[in-house]
Structure 1
Amino acid sequence: MDTLEIILLALVQGITEFLPISSSGHLILTPLLFGFELQELAFDVALHLGTLGAVTLYFRREIARMTVAVLGSLRHRRLDDPDARLGWMIVLATVPVVVLGLPLKLVLEFLRDDPVLIATVIAATSIGFGLLLWWSDWRGARRRDEYSLGWRGALVVGLMQALAIIPGTSRSGITITAGLLLGLTRRAASRFSFLLAIPTILMAGTVEGIELAGQGAAVDWVGLALGAVWSMLFAYLTIHLFLRFIERVSMLPFVLYRVALGGLILLLVW
């Protein structure tokens, strides 16, 4: 991969991982659009690790507080600390993707082998889940913060997140949708979604890394490192700007983008 291709894909991953428009779908569509060969899975893993670094760095204070609070709750067997409750809700919301991740991953591997089929799936999920995002933003009460999310709500968000392995769904989009439907504010739904990304991306990256190591294939470590660093920079900036403006801007611009993208893909494919 040349430097321009690496930076372009890192830009796409860094922006789309935390915006509700699907990073996996865009990482598949970008090479098709620009005539590149579809990147190796190892590069996708590197890009995701870059975004993991960005979200971990951005929420470092919250992560430190939750870690201390969760350990304290284990010692004292109490959940009266809001940071401890939030930490355990993130753990609970991660469970569905652990259980359902492998079956859905097999579906993804099947889809990647057929460009027309995967493009159609991306179009359908972009439109369908985009409209669901609009409806949740319109109907949601938007009164609660992320600390008020109980165990049932955490499981709902986690179950919705498991669907995000299907390209075009958008991990952040589907979890923000679930949060809005549960009455969270846009900022609270987004913050919970971003915090939930940390264990999810970490687990996915670990699994894929072990598989790649077992294959023993040659690895372009310089290209992977460059992609991870650029992805981290773009993702950090995206998180900052998104959380700063999301309460002033509705989800409608993202919904319109998703519907337009899905329509364009269907037009080109069919």
Structure 2
Amino acid sequence: MLRSWVVFTKWGQPVISDRIVANTCSSILCCAGQAHLQPASVPTVSRQFRERFERAMRRGSKQYVRLVGAIALGGLTALAAGVAAQPEAAPATGSIAVGNYNWVQAAVLGLVQGLTEFLPISSTAHMNVVPIALGWGKPGVTYEAIVQLGSVAAVLWYFWGDLVRLGRGTWHGIRSRDWQVPELRLTAGILMGTVPIVICGLLLKALVPDLDNTPLRGLTAIAIASVVMGLLLGVAEWLGTRQRDYDQLDARDGILMGLAQCLALIPGVSRSGSTITAGLFLGLERATAARFSFLMGIPAIALAGLVELLDLIESGFANAEALPLLVAVVTAVASSYVAIAGLIRFLQQQDAWVFVWYRLLFGAFVFWGIFSGWLTQ
């Protein structure tokens, strides 16, 4: 049985799908039956199959190139960090600890980060709970932020064509002073939606320098946030009208979803979860809310990761090696790309209740782990 991965180009439109493969198989079987009766038709069957296959591969090859490019971009990012901040035998006082993981552990954490960053289930929560449950210890804010750069590389590559169109449309609107150009309004919404989380993030970093060791990043906070945001997502799914598509987005949506994005500074809330929930409350279609959430996440995640990366380069590695971190980033690129494509397609056809129930069960699991003593704070 032939299967194929679903790959997207624009807004969730499949390039190579099971339908293409099924149609190709049907044609082969049908033509093969005719070929049994008429041997002279065999060359036609071969040519028909070859043409279909080559056409499908031409359409899909661009996406594979994007995926490879995204992996390379994420890898180069981590490699630059490793080269610029090689660990010393005796780290200087004040150096930053980012977790000491081997290659396998780093790959697992990169996979967890990539799969959960764009699903509305909180990557930060999973990046804290999973290694603690496995006995590896917490990775810390710096490690998480740097691995998130892999997710940024994936979303940049996945939406590259759309970002180019946004940039061109925005430039055209500015030059012609046409402030109603859709691309200009959308870009303004993304930028204005980024301002609140930047301000809140800087304030939090200044007021709570030792954020890793505060109750705000504890397992109890993660469990509570997971349950509360799960309930909010359920209410949004229940009450949302889902009448507005991507072409109807404006700056107001960016500002309101940007304010909701600030909640993601609390582990367990989920950046994509808070913005998608806000989008549903604003009447956006599910897939539209997800797409806009991903675009809004580019500057927010990139800024957070770059700030931590610069701090790491200045201070040096305290107890981590560059290559395992590189493995985590590259794994995050690939898994993030798959998560983006899968979530957009899923929300085009299904509702978000599966994520509501998952969040509730995940929160209950963390509570059970805390009270049973299996998960230590």
Instruction: Please state which band the TM-score falls in when normalised by the shorter chain.
Output: over 0.9
User: Residues 234, 187 of structure 1: CA spacing in aligned structure 2 closer, same or farther, 3 A cutoff?
Assistant: same
Q: Tell me if the contact between 2:120 and 2:270 (Cα under 8 Å) persists in the aligned partners.
A: yes
Once the two structures are TM-superposed, the CA of residue 17 in structure 1 deviates from its matched residue by 0.2
Which whole-Å CA distance do the structure 1 matches of 2:217 and 2:267 have between them? 11
Which whole-Å CA distance do the structure 1 matches of 2:177 and 2:264 have between them? 34
Letter in structure 2 aligned against 1:45: A
2:339 aligns with: 238
Deviations 1:140-189 (A, max 9, x none): 01010233233332211000001101000000000000000000000000
Letter in structure 1 aligned against 2:264: A
Q: Tell me if the contact between 2:216 and 2:267 (Cα under 8 Å) persists in the aligned partners.
A: no
2:367 aligns with: 266
- Between 75-84 and 254-263, report the one with greater CA deviation: 75-84
Give runs of aligned pairs for residues 206-221 of structure 1, distance below 5 A: 206-217=306-317, 220-221=321-322
2:264 is aligned, of 143, 147, 164, to: 164
Once the two structures are TM-superposed, the CA of residue 123 in structure 1 deviates from its matched residue by 0.5
Gapped regions of structure 1 (runs ≥ 5): none
Q: Tell me if the contact between 2:275 and 2:293 (Cα under 8 Å) persists in the aligned partners.
A: yes
Match of 2:243, SS state, is coil
Q: Tell me if the contact between 2:154 and 2:333 (Cα under 8 Å) persists in the aligned partners.
A: yes
Which whole-Å CA distance do the structure 2 matches of 1:232 and 1:106 have between them? 30
Larger Rg belongs to: 2
Match of 2:348, SS state, is coil
2:118 aligns with: 18
2:246 is aligned, of 146, 170, 178, to: 146
User: Percent sequence identity over matched residues?
Assistant: 38
Which whole-Å CA distance do the structure 1 matches of 2:299 and 2:196 have between them? 12
Gapped regions of structure 2 (runs ≥ 5): 1-100, 372-377
Provide TM-score, normalisation by structure 1: 0.94
Relative to total residues, which structure has the larger helix share, 1 or 2? 1
Which whole-Å CA distance do the structure 1 matches of 2:311 and 2:256 have between them? 29
2:157 is aligned, of 57, 60, 63, to: 57
- Between 31-40 and 59-68, report the one with greater CA deviation: 31-40
Match of 2:302, SS state, is helix
Deviations 1:65-122 (A, max 9, x none): 0111112222222123222221111111111112111233467765531579711100
1:200 aligns with: 300
Once the two structures are TM-superposed, the CA of residue 199 in structure 1 deviates from its matched residue by 0.8
Deviations 1:43-83 (A, max 9, x none): 32332010001100110111000111112222222123222
Which whole-Å CA distance do the structure 2 matches of 1:90 and 1:59 have between them? 14
Letter in structure 1 aligned against 2:185: R
Which whole-Å CA distance do the structure 1 matches of 2:174 and 2:300 have between them? 22
Deviations 1:4-32 (A, max 9, x none): 10111011100100000000111011111
Q: Tell me if the contact between 2:140 and 2:212 (Cα under 8 Å) persists in the aligned partners.
A: no
Which whole-Å CA distance do the structure 1 matches of 2:331 and 2:158 have between them? 16
Q: Which structure has the higher relative contact order (CA within 8 Å, separation 6+)? A: 1
Give runs of aligned pairs for residues 32-71 of structure 1, distance below 5 A: 32-71=132-171
